Chain A
Amino acid sequence: MKRNLTALPAMLALAVLAGAYGSFFATGLLRQVPGTASVAGPASAENYLKFFSGAGQLPVFADTFIFSIIVTLATVIIGYPLAYFIARTESRFLRVAFLAVLVATFLSGSVTRAYGWMVILGNRGLLNSMLMNMGLIEAPLRILYRQLGVGIALVHFILPFFVLTVVGGIRNVPRALEEASRDLGCGPVRTFAKVTLPLSLPAIAEGMALSLALALSAFLFPLMLGGGRVRLVANYIYDQIFVAFDIPFAAVVSAGFLVCSCGALMLMMALQKALLRRFATGGIGA
């Protein structure tokens, strides 16, 4: 009885969150009243049938997933060495400085940052001007208004979330374990691969899940840096509401995308567990 009481606030919060998503499912059963911002019955599965026939949204879904996975992998490739350095550097000054720079990126809003990237990546932006002045390229590189530009800005946005998640995971791997591995004849690189990496795997998986979720739900960066040419699911849903004025269908797309995203995250967690099980026996015995 007492346990149920302490769980009450958490369950209440959860109910509100789940309720919000539940309302997507419910709204999807209704129909838009033409010319107004309201929806009305009677309930029908019409919108769901339209969704599953999948004409408009399927390429957007596929694009979004592929794009988000690439962004997540780029974040891991850039973020893990950074996190490793922050976690393992002997210098307190460097650790604090790196963390401060990462945290500082939280302080500027997304809109500011998107504009910043426009200034840097544009055809006459800082990057292109610099490269052209140095004579490295003749014509400006087309980065802005493509997935590449959106991806760069998005990685920059996601990186601190990933790094801060993983730094803790690496710091929790006791130094003595790395020393024990070296002591038993394993060089630094193999020690990293056999001890540090597997033991920080749960933190990497958490960071990847967070990164993937942030990339999948990206809205502002594709809107501003995509120039209408990079259309991800969030932008597609936005268009359903504010361009097509079809709130029920937008709700159905949201709900469908939510299910897909959850599926992707669960798949990732399962993958991580399978990997850890392989390490347990170290490839010997049963």
Chain B
Amino acid sequence: MNHGIEPGGDAVAGLEVSGLTKHYGAHAAIQDIGFRLERGALLTLLGPSGCGKTTLLRSIGGFVATDSGTIRVEGQEISALPPERRPTATVFQGYALFPHMSVAANVAYGLKIQGMLKSEIAERVRDALAAVQLSAMAERMPSQLSGGQQQRVALARCLVVRPRILLLDEPFSALDRNLREEMQVELRKLQQRMGITTVVVTHDQQEAYILSDWVAVMNAGRLHQFDRPAGVYDRPATRFVAGFTGMTNILAGHGDGTHFIAEGIGRFPVAAPALPGSALGLRPGALRLVDPADPAACAVGEVAFVAMTGAEALCEITCPGGALQVAMPRRDGPPAPGALVGVAMVNPDEAVVLAA
């Protein structure tokens, strides 16, 4: 397992987590989590529900008391501090705006606590609301705003206190699709302009790819991969990451140096070491259909069914040892169910050998 890599040459990481563990009873919510994130970068914590990503975010914010491990923000150890003394600010899932305060009072909240001068508070609130394009809404109550507007208030309320780490918990899950895409872009622009180190929790891999400099894929409390978005997609480190990112063909077998022999399916020209118990991961798009007699055919099977998914057709090919999913452009004329076809690789580089 990859426990994080050293990003950039930054001597002091914006956020550094090591050995972080939290148990609820006997159940480990997060286990031995460690990574380094450079200043100003955006990291998404990606994984299915219950994988520990929210627990990890809440530990950074100070809402979960961890059993062991350290959290450093720009070199400063913060894991013993209560939330109010951490240099972090959180956009909560559901936004958690104070319903008894106007938009302006919500945004001013963190500054008033600091005992800042009224004139300065007013100015910073005005700037923050302008940054999220909500200047006209200052006197409204949160209940009078739409979901997207509420989210922007929550964001402004965090940014105005100039945190060193911005945390967002499933920030876009309550928004409809068009608004979600708009807000993703807006968040990314704002985050880059302010150069603020940011951690976002999401279960949506598309969102993770769009937003992130770095992605941490988690499952069952463990960090499976900490990588660039393209690295997660192209080179999944574990079978879980492969499956989670849509690598539907995970074929058991072993390598012989020049080929991978998938038991009961076929021989794939992938340079794989002779490790027992390994698997070959292939996206449906990395395979194509050929004539069964074609020398490029790695496997031969019968078309079980064909599904239309948009511009592509998804074919399931039944081989003696299992099934293969193959995606092809619909304009290439998908085969009829029952036909005997060969399956070849589009590009051997798109296959990933996964260890046991």
Interface residues of A (CB under 8 A from B): 174, 176-177, 179-187, 190, 194-195, 198-199, 276, 279-286
Contacts and interface: CB of A to CB of B under 8 A. Distances in A.
Interface string B65-95: 0000000000000000011110011101110
Given A179-B96, A187-B82, 17 more contacts: A179-B63, A179-B83, A179-B90, A180-B96, A181-B109, A182-B82, A182-B84, A184-B89, A184-B113, A184-B157, A185-B113, A185-B114, A190-B113, A198-B100, A279-B101, A280-B100, A281-B104
Contacts of A286: 139
A177 B98 contact: yes
A265 B113 CA distance: 35
Contact of B121 (A176, A186, A194, A284): A284
Contact of A281 (B82, B85, B96, B105): B105
Contact of A195 (B83, B98, B114): B98
Contacts of B82: 182, 187
Given A176-B94, A183-B89, A185-B110, A285 B100 contact: no
Interface in B308-334: none
Contact of B108 (A185, A187, A198, A284): A284
A10 B99 CA distance: 32
Interface residues of B, number: 39
Contact of A280 (B101, B108, B109): B101
Contacts of B138: 285
A170 to B, nearest CB: 14
The 10 A-B pairs at the shortest CB distance, nearest first, are namely A282-B105, A184-B110, A176-B96, A180-B96, A182-B83, A185-B113, A279-B100, A186-B113, A183-B90, A182-B84
Contacts of B90: 179-180, 183
23 contacts: A174-B94, A176-B93, A176-B94, A179-B61, A179-B63, A179-B83, A180-B90, A182-B83, A183-B62, A183-B89, A184-B84, A185-B113, A186-B110, A190-B113, A194-B109, A198-B100, A199-B99, A283-B112, A284-B112, A284-B121, A284-B125, A285-B102, A285-B105
A176 B161 contact: no
A149 B161 CA distance: 53
B84 A183 contact: yes
Contacts of B83: 179, 182-183
A174 B84 CA distance: 18
A191 to B, nearest CB: 8
A281 B112 CA distance: 12
Interface in B97-142: 97-102, 104-106, 108-110, 112-114, 118, 121-122, 125, 138-139, 141
Nearest to B169: A176
B100 A284 contact: no
B96 A276 contact: no
Contact of B92 (A176, A186, A198): A176
Interface string B150-176: 000000011001000000000000000
A280 B113 CA distance: 16
